[in-house]
Amino acid sequence: MLKNKKRNLTAFVLFVVITLVGAVSVFGDGLFERTAGFKTLGGFRHDVLSSDSNISAVVLPDGSLWTWGSNQRGLVGDGTNIDRHNPIMIMEDAVSVSVSQWRAFAIKSDGSLWGWGHNSGGMILGDGTGINRNRPVWIMDDVVYVSAGHNHTMAIKSDGSLWGWGANFWGTVGDGTQIDRRTPVHIMDDVVYVSAGHNHTMAIKSDGSLWGWGNNAIWQIGDGTPTHRHSPVRVMDDVAFVTAGEDFTLAIKTDSSLWAWGENRNHQLGDGTSSHRQRPVRIMDDVVFVTTGLFNTMVIKTDGSLWAWGDNHFGLFGDGSIGGNPRNSTKIMDDVIAVSVGRSSHALAIRSNGSLWGWGNNGSGQLGIGVNNSVPAFRPLIIMGEGTFLPPTNTVTGISINQDDFNMLVGEVIYLTATITPYNATNTNIIWSSSDNNIATINAQGVVTAISSGVVTITATTEEGGLTDFITITVVDSALPQGFIKSFAIGSGDTQITGFANDNQELVFNITEQEFELLQDSLNWVRGDIVSIEAYHNLLTFTNPHGSWELGIGEEAGFWSGHTVHIQGFDRVYTIVINIY
């Protein structure tokens, strides 16, 4: 039925860890999931969408990267310096993108980071040269997230280490110096998210602590001082997400509350005032995502509604109005799962039906509607149609439980997992069931609990198509029955000797003198000091003060005839018998 399967809780745990800290898939799970390097909302990574100044970029579900808008210094990345008023594909196998006013970066599915655009003066790509690039060039490997700031860039590698490069006059890179860095330098470890702002940087560590460094003239770091920081300083705890703006910062805490600090002359903090804030102040609740433009802020709330406040230049609020600095937030649209705001006041949003929308400034064709004009779009316009950002539907073709038949003890709990094929199937839901809940139960997560002795069949069924696989579990009582230990062996290769358990509670080896001499020569025999032999799922482990060995094919043991041993977990004593003939 099922071949080459094995019970492995480690594999299950590893799957969870990879999902939390090393994933590179464009689409995640859950309404709000913060993972290493990205955040998902309704299953979408927010970093498949990026805009800044006069440039826009998106990554589609098939991994293709599209850019459009101003192409000064090759920012579009198509090998030219011609402005593009419609989206143009420049790369395949991409998983995320981050653009700034003069530079752009993308991560490919293999974890490699690529950059293009302005690469001279303080505008540094990180490739070690001062050559402008109008096509993507390789920067580094093992990257899970990248954030392009105004003049510097930050990247998180798969091991949680944070790296930075670029202009560093304010200590923006965070390496403790003010030396510009033309190639990535290591900053800190255990980082799960980073946001590069205008001249300051904010990062979140795995414990939820928020750290900041760089320019702090208007308290944008949030440590209560105007002191510039050349190395990371701790700001607050319990943070799930952060965005570093021009000279201000906003963060979402784990309870979905939104906090803001720094410059506020255009009401971009959203606290109803124009007063700068030296430390974080609470703005609102039920927020799952926040992004900033030059002097404005946009948030997505838990119900999918999109809101904006601050500067409304170029009609950024999308409600038909222009200008003014509203003190209260303005609702733009519903059913939003991703949004990005450019520094020159244009915005892009993905809705839950997979469509892309844009509004605001279009002077360089950054809205991607085929034209550039001096009249902004005061209301959202559709750029890419319904379904564009929805992943393709892949039909389930099979299911396999990741374990073969095995035994359990009454009261024992074991986790089961199953693999659905293909690996990218759209519906990966599994329905677990037990043929007899009086013997063993299994819950929706695959947790099996042994209730009483007997034989039970555990079945895994795909929600889509009703495909099944099953295994048999034998549940035994805590008292070890006769014959439970059938046979075992010591030695390996030519010196492998098989033993058996008889009805007299003896572990018996019948060997010749020649075999005994071979065993003496090849094994580390210990005369005495027997501690225990464990019986667990037919695996015997011998333990003495000198170490432990498995009693099994190809393994070695160290015991001597005549000793009695206790099988741990059972009220039973066995005597070791070695018969030499």
Based on DSSP, count helices (H) and strands (E) in the chain, helices before strands.
2, 48
Degrees to nearest 5, angle at CA 247 with 242 and 249: 20
Per-residue pLDDT of 130-174, as tens digits, reads 899 999 999 999 999 999 999 999 999 988 999 999 999 999 999
| Better pLDDT: 562 or 197 | 197
In this predicted structure, the answer to whether residue 310 has a pLDDT above a threshold of 50 is: yes
DSSP for 83-140, written as a single string:
-EEEEEEEESSEEEEEE-SSEEEEEETTS-EEEEE--STT---SSSS---EEEEEEEE
pLDDT beyond 50 at 117: yes
What percent of the chain is helix, strand and coil (3-state, nearest 5)?
Answer: 5, 45, 50
Distance (Å, whole) CA 415 – CA 9: 7
What pLDDT band is residue 547 in, cutting at 50, 70 and 90?
A: very low
Residue 369 has pLDDT above 80, yes or no: yes
Residue of higher predicted confidence among 63 and 573: 63
Question: In whole angstroms, what is the distance from residue 580 CA to residue 489 CA?
Answer: 16
Contacts of 27 (CB under 8 A, 6+ apart): 40, 43, 44, 45, 61, 391
pLDDT for 482 beyond 60: no
pLDDT beyond 70 at 52: yes
Given a cut of 50, is residue 284 above it in pLDDT?
Answer: yes
Q: How far apart are CA 385 and CA 354, in angstroms?
A: 7
Of the two residues 526 and 288, the one the predictor is more confident about is 288
Q: What is the mean pLDDT of residues 181-201?
A: 95
d(CA 282, CA 250): 10
d(CA 115, CA 112) in angstroms, rounded, equals: 10
DSSP state of 262: E
User: What's the confidence (pLDDT) of residue 565?
Assistant: 43
Distance, in Å, from the CA atom of 162 to the CA atom of 174, rounded to the nearest integer, reads: 10
- Return the sign of the alpha-carbon dihedral for residues 153, 156, 162, 163: negative
Q: Which two tokens mark 255?
A: 């309870």
Share of the chain above pLDDT 70, in %: 74
Alpha-carbon distance 461 to 469, whole Å? 7
Contacts of residue 88, defined as CB under 8 A and 6 or more positions apart, other chains included, come to 66, 67, 68, 76, 78
pLDDT, position 269? 96
222, 243 contact by CB (below 8 A): no
Model-level pTM? 0.67
pLDDT of residue 328: 74
Span of 225-229, 248-252, 260-264, 565-569 with lowest mean pLDDT: 565-569
The two beta strands, 573-580 and 346-351, are unpaired
Residue 395 has pLDDT above 50, yes or no: yes
Distance between CA atoms of residues 254 and 277, nearest Å: 21
| Annotation: CATH topology of 393-476 | Immunoglobulin-like (2.60.40)
Mean pLDDT confidence for 104-131: 90
Answer yes or no: is pLDDT of 525 > 60: no
- Region of 117 on the Ramachandran plot (φ > 0 left; ψ -120 to 50 alpha; else beta): left
Q: Which residue has the higher pLDDT, 549 or 95?
A: 95
- Fold of the CATH domain 34-384: Methylamine Dehydrogenase; Chain H (2.130.10)
Predicted confidence band of residue 17 (pLDDT cuts 50, 70, 90): very low
Residues in the chain: 581
Distances (CA, A) of 306 to 55, 88, 106, 405: 21, 27, 26, 52
Query: What pLDDT digit, counting tens, does each position of 485-498 carry?
Result: 444 445 444 555 56
Q: What is the mean pLDDT of the chain?
A: 79
Mean pLDDT score, 288-306: 94
Given a cut of 80, whether residue 550 has pLDDT beyond it is no
> Under a CB-based contact definition with an 8 Å cutoff, are residues 276 and 264 in contact?
yes
In the structure, what pLDDT confidence band is assigned to residue 373 with cuts at 50, 70 and 90?
A: confident
- pLDDT given for residue 497 in this prediction: 58
With tokens 């904010």, the residue in question is 202
Res 132: pLDDT: 93
Q: Check: CB of residue 317 under 8 Å from CB of residue 367.
A: no
Q: Which two tokens stand for residue 475?
A: 């549940």
Give me the mean pLDDT over the 228-233 stretch. Answer: 97
Least confident of 244-248, 412-416, 542-546: 542-546
Whole-angstrom Cα distance, residue 550 to residue 555?
A: 6
Residues 436 and 331: their CA atoms lie apart, in Å, by 54
Chain centroid, CA 249 distance in Å: 24
The helix (run of H) or strand (run of E) holding residue 297 is strand 296-301
Say if residue 379's pLDDT is above 80. yes
User: How far apart are the C-alpha atoms of 575 and 578, rounded to whole Å?
Assistant: 10
Residue type present at position 526: V
Residues 318-330, mean pLDDT to the nearest whole number: 78
Higher pLDDT, 239 or 497: 239
With bands split at pLDDT 50, 70 and 90, how would you rate the model's confidence at 325? Answer: low
Tokens of 540: 């015997």
Cβ-contact 398, 467 below 8 angstroms: yes
Give the torsion sign (CA, 257, 262, 268, 269). Answer: positive
Average pLDDT for residues 66-80, to the nearest whole number?
Answer: 94
Find where tokens 């009086």 sit: 438
* Percent of the chain topping pLDDT 90: 57
What does the domain layout of the chain look like in residue ranges? 34-384, 393-476, 487-580
Q: One-letter amino acid identity for 5?
A: K
pLDDT higher for 549 or 575? 575
**pLDDT of residue 3 exceeding 60:** no
* pLDDT for position 515: 64
CA–CA gap between residue 254 and residue 108 (Å, rounded):
29
